[in-house]
Amino acid sequence: RGRAAPGMSWKAMASYILKRILSLIPTFFGATFLAFLIIQMAPGDYLTQLELDPKVTPETIARLRAQFGLDRPFHEQYLLWMHNLLHLNLGYSFAYQAPVLEIVWPRVLNSMVLVVPSTVLLFLIAVPVGVYGALRQYSLGDRVVSFLAYLGLAIPNFFLALILMYLVLQVYFRTGVMVFPVSGMTSSGFEQFSFWQKVVDVAWHAVLPIVVLTTSDIAGFSRIMRGQMLEALSQDYVRTARAKGLPERVVVYKHALRNAIIPIVANIGGILPTLISGAGLVEVVTAWPGITPLLLDAISQQDLYVVAGFLTMGLVLLMIGNLLSDLLLAWVDPRIRYE
């Protein structure tokens, strides 16, 4: 990707995409190999805990080890896993005795219930807040927003979740009204609900985790946006636009914001992996059945193919996201051309 005059052809873009996809192939194999190697370097395996059980005979351990393929050398295990992966098979879970995709995908959907709305709210709120802070620098509103942003950066999101849960419970103890559920994803009797009742129930349970995720992310994102806008507003082209008599709205949103948002667009590639990576410890604190609790259990149980399958899904989405970021950059900045 290089700098050139505005304008680009579909042929050039298709050629660029093809080259990027071809270059991602060795990256994919190298990254999956390293991930598989790091997982294998951990001492023991899934059957190590069973070896400590006196009721389990060595013959049973040996049979299970051969059944799961854990008695093979590392390179054979990797090649077998890669063969299955190329056939869209992420492997078989030792702990759940089921294909990895059947176990992981429902958890991914549960996590997306939290991550997708919080990501949308992040952009809808953080960008205007950052722009406001740059346009009203050192005003009372800017100082208040900056204070809240620093406070949000200082408080871990899982601790913020605990604080909100405490406040909700205090309201419940004093009034008998549960404003929002503090744990879980559904209410009792969920299976008997109608479709729309299920949607409302899940949304009601998701409010508190979404608020926590959005609040913690807005804190840092708005500060970045504010800094980028301040830098853009100090550039010569902005002063030139104002000297030409252009309306302030055009100067700010067509010239300054469009350039200030370029670094934000460049980081969009990291959003896709977060859609399946879950809400982190917020899911653990709020007992949300997302991907993070499953991944932590898989790591503690050394469920090799669940961990490897999850890392592979994140890797693929990261590569796709980076490609989309480059394409969006060319749309936002006409100076970017494909070579």
**Single-letter residue type at 196:** W
Q: What's the confidence (pLDDT) of residue 206?
A: 92
3-state SS assignment for residue 2:
strand
Average pLDDT, the chain: 82
Q: Are 213 and 157 in contact (CB under 8 A)?
A: yes
Q: What's the confidence (pLDDT) of residue 334?
A: 62
Would the pLDDT of 6 be above 50?
no
Q: What's the confidence (pLDDT) of residue 337?
A: 61
Considering the chain, what percentage of its residues have pLDDT values greater than 90? 5
Q: What's the confidence (pLDDT) of residue 19?
A: 82
Would the pLDDT of 83 be above 60?
yes
Please count the other Cβ atoms lying within 10 Å of the Cβ belonging to residue 113: 19
- Beta-strand (E) ranges in the chain? 2-3, 92-93, 98-99, 336-337
Q: What's the confidence (pLDDT) of residue 166?
A: 92
- Rounded to whole angstroms, the Cα distance separating 205 from 227 reads 35
Phi-psi group of 302: left, alpha or beta (phi > 0 → left; psi -120 to 50 → alpha; rest → beta): left
Beta bridge partners of 93: 98
DSSP per residue, 125-167:
HHHHHHHHHHHTTTSHHHHHHHHHHHHHHHS-HHHHHHHHHHH
Would the pLDDT of 332 be above 70?
no
Q: Are 28 and 315 in contact (CB under 8 A)?
A: yes
Q: Taking the chain, what is the end-to-end CA distance rounded to the nearest angstrom? A: 6
Averaged pLDDT, 122-140: 87
Beta bridge partners of 2: 337
Averaged pLDDT, 190-205: 90
Upper half-sphere CA count for residue 315 (Cβ side, 13 Å): 19
Extract the tokens encoding 17: 């995409």
Extract the tokens encoding 296: 């932590």
**pLDDT per residue as tens digits for the range 38-48:** 888 877 777 77
Q: What's the confidence (pLDDT) of residue 5?
A: 41
Burial class from Cβ neighbours inside 10 Å (0-12, 13-18, 19+) for residue 263 reads middle
**pLDDT per residue as tens digits for the range 49-63:** 777 777 778 888 888
Averaged pLDDT, 103-120: 88
Give the confidence band of 1 by pLDDT, cuts at 50, 70, 90: very low
Give the confidence band of 202 by pLDDT, cuts at 50, 70, 90: very high
Q: Which residue has the higher pLDDT, 339 or 70?
A: 70
Would the pLDDT of 8 be above 60?
no
3-state SS assignment for residue 93:
strand
The DSSP output letter for 233 is H
Averaged pLDDT, 209-228: 85
Q: What's the confidence (pLDDT) of residue 170?
A: 92
Would the pLDDT of 4 be above 50?
no
- Rounded to whole angstroms, the Cα distance separating 223 from 50 reads 50
Give the confidence band of 335 by pLDDT, cuts at 50, 70, 90: low
- Rounded to whole angstroms, the Cα distance separating 45 from 116 reads 35
